[in-house]
Amino acid sequence: MTMEPELLRRLLRAKDRMDVASHEAWPVRRLAKVSGVSQAHFARSFAAAFGTPPHRYLLTQRIERATALLRETNVAVTEIAFETGWASLGTFGRVFRDITGESPRELRAREQAAPQDLKATPRCFLRAARRPHLTIAVSEKRRREAGAMTGSEQTEVP
């Protein structure tokens, strides 16, 4: 799909706003307004341009920022949760575990216990290597795991 340069600039404007203020609420309605396009067109175009839906992109940014804060500071987990845009500590902990496979406290303990001499490594490389890989929605991941626990077969209907 070839995208018009003007539309891509508008999408980048919304993406940049999310990057700068990932702690804020960014519903599609707000992002579409920033981009000057309809909500449906924005959601489709964003996913086509960046390979991920806007909500999943924002979730990745928040988890990436929270992980960095857990690794590099001694700020309380509760404070990190609210600082990175989560409305509740419980939701933050559940989503964080779903994505990273460990709780925020476990990640902090593991990262702080491991010796790290990464001064010579460019920060962009470190961020890319540590970025969470959200290939499916968190709710879909939970549904699949719940199905595996109950032993039920998951079949797709065409």
Q: How far is CA 39 from CA 2, 29, 42, 100, in A?
A: 20, 6, 5, 30
SS3 of 25-64: the string is: CCCHHHHHHHHCCCHHHHHHHHHHHHCCCHHHHHHHHHHH
What is the C-alpha to C-alpha distance for residues 26 and 59, in angstroms, rounded to an integer? 10
The superfamily CATH assigns to domain 53-146 is Homeodomain-like (1.10.10.60)
Residue 153's pLDDT is: 52
Residue 122's pLDDT is: 80
Residue 158's pLDDT is: 44
What is the C-alpha to C-alpha distance for residues 151 and 10, in angstroms, rounded to an integer? 46
Residue 103's pLDDT is: 96
Residue 116's pLDDT is: 67
pLDDT < 70 stretches in the chain: 1, 115-120, 133-135, 150-158
| 59's tokens | 């979730």
Residue 118's pLDDT is: 65
